[in-house]
């Protein structure tokens, strides 16, 4: 199998159009490394550090599954086993009944808990936390603040509620709150900060030199991202939300992690299939499916009837970051467009699909 590197160079040069997308970096490899290409355009270089945003959640999956294998946590464990009562009480109250004691680790990592997303869920004033942050009003969002806020919000559904969408089992709603709680659980189990957990369980093992959890608001080394045409710099916020989206990395080191994840480096490879319990989520940038700590880009057959790509699994980040594997072509993709408003996600998805269809 070969890929047209000239076509890839042209593709990446067109992604950063200086109108809607101002940064684009991508790396593509196959399992044995016989294919390896990197490209960048706009105001980012191939070796620049960037915020991987919610791709961080795939690293959370690796840690959780590693602890599952070690017998230190179970997906069916109630979160009340690990968290203080005042954190758990009142998280999901429907018709005056508190369902919070039913929430499990699996509900959190699969976004089936029903706990509202503090970031995009509307508050009583009709605004969201995202509205303020995307206007450039940088502020910290510690877990305590998140918990206080979501307890005032209407839950999406009861934990593990059944779905009526064909081929899915449960209702799912993307919620960063779930991963803030997961991060706290991991800290309780290990006795370490989330940065220390990632360092011990992933970063040091893979020999990373440029990957870390962003914790110092004075650190200006990662590339800023954009919201539309406006450059955003939110160091206080990002330094406070490590478990849900705080990792800084490069395309080279994200690729190393991505390949290690699907190769079974952190937990038995055959157990990846157990994570593919897909439920439909429909926020921007478009339709995608969420499993147990794993996302799948939904490509309807009608969109590619003759060269359907099959599974494209991994994770999106809100900043246009991505890390995905396509078994059918045996290609791994990672990078970022550093654009929050969805245009970057569409450009990245389109690029991945174009490359996959060129080789299958």
Number of domains in the chain: 1
Q: What is the CATH number of the domain that holds 186?
A: 3.40.710.10
DSSP 170: B
Q: Are 36 and 28 in contact (CB under 8 A)?
A: yes
Q: For position 283, what pLDDT does the model report?
A: 58
Model-level pTM?
0.96
Buried b (16+ CB within 10 A) or exposed e, 195-221: bebbbebbbeeeebeebbbbbebeeee
Give the N- to C-terminal CA distance of the chain in Å, as an integer. 9
Q: Which H/E stretch holds residue 178?
A: helix 176-190
The residues with which 40 forms a beta bridge, in sequence order, are 25
CA nearest to 44, candidates 20, 19, 10, 12: 12
Q: Are 64 and 293 in contact (CB under 8 A)?
A: yes
Which residues does 354 contact at the CB level (< 8 Å), separation at least 6? Answer: 11
Q: For position 285, what pLDDT does the model report?
A: 47
The C-alpha atoms of residue 360 and residue 25 are separated, in whole angstroms, by 23
Please provide the DSSP assignment of 50-104 as one string.
EE-GGGHHHHHHHHHHHHHHTTS--TTSBGGGTS-HHHHTTSSEETTEE-GGG-B
Residue 95: exposure state from Cβ atoms within 10 A (0-12, 13-18, ≥19): exposed
pLDDT in single tens digits along all 360 residues of the chain: 788 899 999 999 999 988 899 999 999 999 999 999 999 999 999 999 999 999 999 999 999 999 999 999 999 999 999 999 998 999 999 999 999 999 999 999 999 999 999 999 988 888 899 999 999 999 999 999 999 999 999 999 999 999 988 889 999 999 999 999 999 999 999 999 999 999 999 999 999 999 999 999 999 999 999 999 999 999 999 999 999 999 999 999 999 999 999 999 999 999 999 999 999 986 544 568 999 999 999 888 887 778 899 999 999 999 999 999 999 999 999 999 999 988 999 999 999 999 999 998
Please provide the DSSP assignment of 240-280 as one string.
T-HHHH-EEE-HHHHHHHHHHHHHTSSS-GGGGGGG---EE
Phi-psi domain of 65 (left: phi exceeds 0; alpha: psi -120 through 50; beta: other)? alpha
Q: For position 298, what pLDDT does the model report?
A: 85
The C-alpha atoms of residue 352 and residue 330 are separated, in whole angstroms, by 12
Could you list the residue range(s) of the whole structural domain that residue 201 is in? 5-359
Q: For position 286, what pLDDT does the model report?
A: 57
The C-alpha atoms of residue 40 and residue 28 are separated, in whole angstroms, by 12
Q: How many residues does the chain have?
A: 360
Q: For position 7, what pLDDT does the model report?
A: 93
Judged by DSSP in three states, 313 sits in strand
The C-alpha atoms of residue 246 and residue 140 are separated, in whole angstroms, by 12
Cis preceding-peptide flag for 285 (omega within 30 of 0): yes
Give CA 193 to chain center in angstroms: 19
DSSP 303: G
Q: For position 282, what pLDDT does the model report?
A: 63
């Amino acid at each position: 199998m070969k890929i047209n590197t000239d076509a890839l160079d042209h593709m990446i040069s067109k992604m950063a159009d200086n109108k809607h997308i101002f940064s684009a970096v991508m790396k593509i490899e196959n399992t044995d490394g016989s294919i390896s290409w990197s490209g960048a355009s706009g105001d980012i270089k191939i070796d620049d550090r960037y915020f991987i945003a919610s791709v961080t959640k795939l690293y959370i999956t690796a840690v959780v599954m590693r602890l599952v294998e070690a017998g230190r946590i179970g997906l069916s464990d109630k979160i009340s086993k690990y968290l203080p009562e005042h954190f758990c009480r009142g998280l999901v109250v429907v018709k005056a009944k508190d369902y919070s004691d039913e929430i499990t680790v699996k509900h959190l990592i699969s976004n089936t808990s029903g706990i509202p997303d503090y970031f995009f869920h509307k508050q009583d004033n009709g605004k969201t936390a995202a509205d303020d942050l995307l206007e450039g009003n940088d502020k910290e969002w510690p877990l305590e603040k998140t918990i206080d806020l979501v307890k005032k919000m209407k839950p999406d559904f009861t934990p593990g509620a059944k779905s009526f969408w064909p081929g899915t089992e449960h209702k799912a709603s993307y919620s960063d709150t779930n991963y803030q709680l997961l991060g706290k659980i991991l800290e309780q189990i290990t006795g370490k900060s989330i940065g220390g957990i990632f360092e011990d369980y992933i970063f040091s093992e893979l020999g990373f030199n440029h990957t870390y959890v962003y914790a110092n608001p004075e650190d200006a080394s990662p590339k800023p991202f954009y919201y539309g045409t406006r450059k955003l710099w939110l160091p206080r916020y990002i330094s406070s939300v490590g478990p849900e989206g705080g990792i800084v990395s490069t395309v080279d080191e994200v690729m190393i992690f991505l390949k290690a994840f699907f190769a079974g480096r952190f937990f038995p490879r055959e157990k990846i299939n157990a994570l593919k319990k897909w439920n439909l989520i429909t926020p921007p940038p478009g339709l995608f499916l969420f499993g147990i700590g794993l996302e799948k880009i939904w490509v309807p057959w009608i969109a590619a009837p003759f060269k359907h790509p099959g599974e494209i699994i991994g994770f999106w980040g809100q900043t246009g970051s991505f890390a995905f594997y396509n078994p059918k072509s045996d290609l791994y993709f990672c990078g970022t467009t550093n654009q929050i408003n969805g245009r970057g996600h569409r450009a990245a998805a389109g690029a991945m699909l174009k490359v996959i269809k060129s080789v299958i």
